[in-house]
Amino acid sequence: MRKFYAPASIGNFCVGFDSLGAAIAPIDGQLLGDVVSIEEAPRDQFSCVGKYAHKLPQEAQDNLAFQCLTHFRSHVKADMPSLSLTLEKRLPVGSGLGSSACSVVATFAALNAFAGTQLSQIQMIELMADFEAKVSGARHYDNITPCYLGGLQLTAELVPDRALALPVDPNWYIVVAYPGFALNTAKARAVLAPELKLGDSVAFAQRLSAFCALLQLHRFSEAVSLMQDSVAEPSRAQLIDGYSDAKLSLPELGASVVSISGAGPTLFALCPTLNAAQQCQSWLESNYLNEHGFSHICQLDSAGTRELV
Ligand SMILES: Nc1ncnc2c1ncn2[C@@H]1O[C@H](COP(=O)(O)OP(=O)(O)OP(=O)(O)O)[C@@H](O)[C@H]1O
Ligand SMILES: N[C@@H](CCO)C(=O)O
């Protein structure tokens, strides 16, 4: 049996709505993402297990991982040997941590390796984005490409190969806090203004381009000082209980940036030191999480989706 792990990711990364995303890894070595196991079997079989399996539709045909399998067999490799595929659902649904992307990316990575299809990077990313688009209400790559490739990715249809990796400060610590309730991505997109004013579009483009250029120059603290989201965060704040308190309190504990991970409700705090990250985590655990929530201190996951050995 072969196992493939796909990590959680932070869509938007505050300054790049639908265009930037970061794969993350808890510093204590825990796996924060989904795992797909695959092996040859007498006939195609699918099962879904794991902590959050009960939060997914009960029928296999409604599970994205199963849909990826049937699509792969009918459109990519019809003569693939029959197989057993198990999704271990380790990320909560509607978390803002790229949960659906994790299942889709891990499944296609497993199928591509199992079938020996060797699809190109763009073919893989496009296949994955098709399925992400089905559930999230729009085609965006900012969970898919960091989850698949690792690191911080500038990612869009207009970007060569759909993704360009950006350098990051190795001293960044990122606290993620999932509060324990779900927020559907399509719902969190429905509250966004359908159009940006000209001045806001120009400010968004300036901020994102300067952020990427500064990272390339390794001028990390100047890049961080530009991290502000005026596109999605103002509209989404009302959907997330506890957001405003966190936004006010965490900078006092040393966070350089506090923002929504993807469509929320997970919040993330980017911190310049481990000590600041620990203080922010402690505040979030006491003030933001309910009994179903969790938090992790992370750094970027540079490996992305990989086979577990
Ligand atoms: N394997 C799967 N993983 C996640 N969602 C799935 C899966 N299979 C089916 N779904 C359905 O897809 C939808 C995903 O919704 P949504 O996009 O809000 O969640 P998400 O991808 O978990 O969010 P986020 O990217 O913010 O973590 C839900 O209705 C969920 O039931
Ligand atoms: N860029 C997407 C990410 C969803 O996880 C959004 O903000 O809606």
Pick the ligand that lies closest to the CA of residue 101: 1
What residue has token string 């103002």?
234
Domain residue spans of the chain:
2-166+303-308, 173-299
Task: Reduce the DSSP state of residue 240 to 3 states and report it.
Answer: coil
**Atom 19 of ligand 1: nearest residue by CA position:** 94
Is 99 annotated to bind ligand? yes
Mean pLDDT of the region 219-224:
98
The rounded distance, in Å, linking the Cα atoms of 19 and 163 is: 9
The rounded distance, in Å, linking the Cα atoms of 34 and 56 is: 13
Mutate to test the pocket of ligand 2, among 17, 139, 140, 267 (most ligand atoms within 8 A of CB): 140
pLDDT tens digits, 76-102: 998 999 999 999 999 999 999 999 999
Q: Is the CB of 94 under 6 A from ligand 1?
A: yes
Measured between its terminal Cα atoms, the distance across the chain in Å is: 10
The rounded distance, in Å, linking the Cα atoms of 174 and 126 is: 28
Q: What is the CB < 6 Å shell around ligand 2? A: 11-12, 18, 98, 136, 140, 142-143, 185, 189, 232, 262-263
The rounded distance, in Å, linking the Cα atoms of 240 and 293 is: 14
Judge whether residue 120 has pLDDT over 80.
yes
Task: Reduce the DSSP state of residue 7 to 3 states and report it.
Answer: strand
Task: Tell me whether domains 2-166+303-308 and 173-299 share a fold.
Answer: no
Pick the ligand that lies closest to the CA of residue 10: 2
The rounded distance, in Å, linking the Cα atoms of 218 and 210 is: 12
Nearest C-alpha neighbor of 130 from the set 113, 107, 160: 107
Judge whether residue 137 has pLDDT over 80.
no
The rounded distance, in Å, linking the Cα atoms of 192 and 186 is: 10
Q: Global pTM?
A: 0.97
Going from the Cα of 107 to the center of ligand 1, the distance in angstroms, rounded, reads: 14
- What strands, in cross-sheet order, belong to the sheet with 83-88? 45-49, 83-88, 33-40, 2-7, 306-308
Mean pLDDT for the chain?
96
CATH number corresponding to 173-299: 3.30.70.890
Two tokens, residue 142: 């900012």
Judge whether residue 27 has pLDDT over 90.
yes
The rounded distance, in Å, linking the Cα atoms of 289 and 165 is: 32
Two tokens, residue 173: 């610590």
Q: Is the CB of 261 under 6 A from ligand 1?
A: no
* 2-166+303-308 fold: Ribosomal Protein S5; domain 2 (3.30.230)
Mutate to test the pocket of ligand 2, among 10, 13, 17 (most ligand atoms within 8 A of CB): 17
